[in-house]
Amino acid sequence: MYFRFTLFNVITLGVMALTAWVAVKRFAWRLESNWPLAYYALLVVYMHSFEGSLDKYWVFSGIICALFLRFEFLPRPLVIMLRALEMIVFAYVLWRGAVLAFLLW
């Protein structure tokens, strides 16, 4: 396992750091916060800039979870389930970023 200092790897590490920050702050912010949606907008830009880096179904499922959580009209058990699903998406982004940046695969 080694780290090659390239622009792609640095951007990938930035996306991973942003993902970890949003995952932690997701529980501190109110559900109506727009920051997770801004994060997902940047994630879509990253996904389209580097084709094949992230699976679009994972990213778009995270966007759907964030939208449902943003427009709070769901019962509490469904909110808990959507937060858990969003954490799974965050874990996927972190795992995939580690694979891409450190050539683990």
69 three-class SS = helix
For the residues 78-94, what does the mean pLDDT come to?
94
Domain ranges of the chain: 7-102
pLDDT of residue 33: 85
pLDDT tens digit sequence for 42-78: 999 999 999 989 999 999 999 999 999 888 788 889 9
Q: How far apart are CA 74 and CA 60, in angstroms?
A: 19
Q: How far apart are CA 4 and CA 41, in angstroms?
A: 27
Q: What is the pTM of this model?
A: 0.89
pLDDT at 2 over 70: no
pLDDT of residue 74: 83
Separation in Å, CA 40 to CA 2, 27, 36, 101, 105: 28, 17, 6, 20, 25
